[in-house]
Chains A and B, each alone.
Chain A
């Protein structure tokens, strides 16, 4: 069964450093998403991406964040200058279509900012 994969599983970085989180969505999916879950809190939507552009983004997704699909398989989330409060589990998801189609989630990348 196809699945969404994410690398690395755990990333430790110092405050102010740039990080790139990588995801490989399911191959025939067209919509891609990033969510995050701060320890003990809800899973929160960050951004959705379709046809090489952002479809929707939340208030969390400020200028420090960017997404890219650099090739036909990878989908990345970049945080330009990490802050302590960026420490969280980051989940990538993909779906064939929007709306009715369920999103399939990767196992997550745990980002720890020190």
Chain B
């Protein structure tokens, strides 16, 4: 069975500082990894994904994530946080090639960026 862990319920960062939201996963084979963001009263918005290739993937709104197979991690990063980045962030995993598309989500990390 696949699982995703987001060890931090909340991350606080000052505007302009770099941010990291952590994610580790457990799945057999080569998974596909995703980050989604949820703003209040909105659905989940896709940010970025790792399928294969370069371990550093870039996504929307200046976010990037680094896939680390040995540490089974897929941390979300941004060099300079904005107040408007404040939202709930979800890491998700699917089984990868040959499998179904079922997404397994982490519990979410609330990112609060202070002015």
Contact = CB atoms under 8 A, between A and B. Distances in A.
Interface of A: 4, 6, 31, 33, 35, 41-45, 48, 55-56, 58, 91, 93, 95, 98-108
B107 A41 contact: yes
B51 interface: yes
Interface stretch (B14-22, B65-73, B75-83, B97-105): B97-105
B101 A107 contact: no
A95 B96 CA distance: 15
Contacts of A58: 102
B43 A95 contact: no
22 contacts: A6-B43, A31-B101, A33-B103, A35-B103, A42-B108, A43-B92, A45-B103, A45-B104, A48-B101, A55-B100, A58-B102, A91-B43, A98-B100, A99-B32, A99-B94, A99-B99, A100-B51, A102-B46, A102-B49, A105-B46, A106-B43, A107-B42
A37 to B, nearest CB: 9
B102 A107 contact: no
Given A4-B43, A99-B94, A104-B46, A42 B106 contact: yes
A35 B104 CA distance: 10
A107 B105 contact: no
A4 B46 CA distance: 13
Contacts of B56: none
Contacts of B114: none
A6 B44 CA distance: 13
Nearest to B97: A99
Nearest to B101: A98
Given A42-B108, A45-B104, A48-B101, A105 B44 contact: yes
B58 to A, nearest CB: 14
